[in-house]
């Protein structure tokens, strides 16, 4: 059997910055890939809920905090990917898109992967220490959810729901760092973020439906079948409903809800132009959620800082 080339996973559809990653010397390149530094979309999707929490809570002047949370998102997303690849190494070898990942292909040993995970967690610890005690406790509350996530695809058709709990936890951290009241608004923001994540990760899972079915991996994309577009639309509609509730809890004024109009338009574009049978189309719609995150951040900034709440 031929061993995979160190650059073999640069050709998979969801990688980015091929030139930057390809220019790194081995073994640094493999560690960068292991933490998905060639795929920054995940860091953005982890970061945006953090920013939403800060901005909707009224922290428009806390730019230092937002930058710390961005660094933490990059580090902890990388740590999560390393942990996921350690747990999923055997499954990854059976899926075409993931077979060349560093741990699955043997380019990075399990011991080295655990060491790299520790380094990334140390960066996360530095970020954690920048937060006030209450926010630190909230952040630490996600550890059990993160640890359980890689196993969810083995026991449920809806691992995307568990990912939603994990990947949008930052909204809780950002909010509690700024304020500790109006928890009903925070709950609605978090709930909306969870179903948004279910929607976009269902789109992402469309790329792997055939391989997942063959090796027994469960996903919402498989469960929804031919109704996947309608399912994503329903998740997005529910996300907007929860976010509208969060905005209303802070500012009970119909004008505040107008801030969500660009979010609605962006989500409608994703759903209406989604082709479930086209992997490149699905990947592009998935990646566009980075831009949706910015649009939602602007809406949170407008509502969260529109006078004294």
pTM, to two decimals:
0.87
Q: 36-46 burial, b for 16+ CB within 10 Å, e for fewer?
A: bbbbbbbbbbb
Torsion of CA 231, 42, 175, 72, to 10 degrees: 160
Q: Residue 186's closest CA among 135, 254, 124?
A: 135
- Cα separation, 61 vs 54, in Å, equals 10
The predicted pLDDT at position 143 comes to: 92
The predicted pLDDT at position 3 comes to: 42
Which residue is associated with the tokens 């699955």?
Answer: 104
The predicted pLDDT at position 213 comes to: 44
The predicted pLDDT at position 305 comes to: 87
Residues of the chain with pLDDT under 50: 1-12, 213-215, 308-309
State the distance between the two ends of the chain, measured CA to CA, in whole angstroms: 65
**Any residues with CB less than 8 A from the CB of 207 and at least 6 apart, and which?**
13, 14, 97, 279, 282, 283
User: Which whole-number Å values give the CA distances from 183 to 61, 66, 253, in the listed order?
Assistant: 21, 20, 19
Q: 237-258 burial, b for 16+ CB within 10 Å, e for fewer?
A: bbbbebbbbbbbbbbeeeebbe
The predicted pLDDT at position 88 comes to: 85
Strand stretches in the chain, DSSP E:
none
Burial grade of 167 (CB within 10 A; 0-12, 13-18, 19 or more): buried
The predicted pLDDT at position 151 comes to: 83
- Cα separation, 225 vs 231, in Å, equals 9
The predicted pLDDT at position 74 comes to: 96
- Cα separation, 231 vs 224, in Å, equals 7
**Residue 264: both structure tokens together:** 């609605």
**Cα angle for residues 296, 301, 304 (degrees, 5° grid):** 115
**pLDDT tens for each residue of 103-130:** 888 899 999 999 999 999 999 999 999 9
**Any residues with CB less than 8 A from the CB of 218 and at least 6 apart, and which?**
153, 154, 155, 156, 157, 158, 159, 212
Contact between 236 and 289 (Cβ < 8 Å) = no
Q: What is the three-class DSSP state of 273?
A: helix
The predicted pLDDT at position 59 comes to: 93
């Amino acid at each position: 059997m031929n061993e995979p080339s160190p650059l073999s996973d640069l050709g998979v559809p969801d990688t980015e910055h091929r030139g930057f990653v390809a220019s790194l010397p081995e073994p640094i390149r493999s560690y960068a890939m292991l933490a998905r530094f060639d795929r920054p979309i995940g860091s953005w999707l982890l970061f945006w809920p953090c920013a939403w929490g800060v901005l909707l809570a009224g922290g428009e002047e806390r730019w230092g905090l937002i930058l710390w949370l961005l660094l933490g998102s990059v580090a902890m997303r990388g740590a999560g990917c390393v942990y996921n690849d350690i747990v999923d190494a055997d499954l990854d070898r059976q899926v075409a898109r993931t077979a060349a990942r560093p741990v699955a292909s043997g380019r990075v040993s399990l011991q080295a992967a655990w060491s790299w995970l520790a380094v990334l967690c140390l960066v996360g610890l530095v970020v954690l220490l920048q937060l006030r005690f209450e926010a630190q406790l909230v952040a630490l509350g996600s550890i059990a959810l993160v640890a359980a996530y890689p196993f969810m695809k083995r026991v449920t058709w809806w691992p995307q729901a568990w990912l939603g709990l994990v990947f949008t936890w930052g909204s809780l951290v950002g909010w509690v760092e700024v304020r500790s009241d109006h928890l009903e608004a925070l709950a609605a923001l978090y709930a909306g973020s969870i179903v948004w994540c279910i929607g976009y990760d269902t789109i992402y899972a469309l790329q792997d439906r055939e391989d997942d079915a063959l090796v027994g991996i469960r996903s919402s994309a498989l469960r929804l079948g031919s109704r996947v577009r309608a399912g994503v639309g329903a998740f997005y509609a529910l996300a907007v409903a929860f976010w509208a509730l969060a905005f209303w809890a802070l500012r009970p004024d119909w004008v505040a809800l107008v801030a969500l109009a660009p979010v609605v338009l962006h989500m409608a574009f994703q759903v209406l132009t989604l082709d479930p049978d086209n992997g490149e189309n699905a990947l592009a719609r998935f990646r566009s959620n980075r831009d949706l995150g910015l649009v939602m951040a602007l809406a949170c900034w407008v509502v969260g800082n529109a006078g004294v709440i």
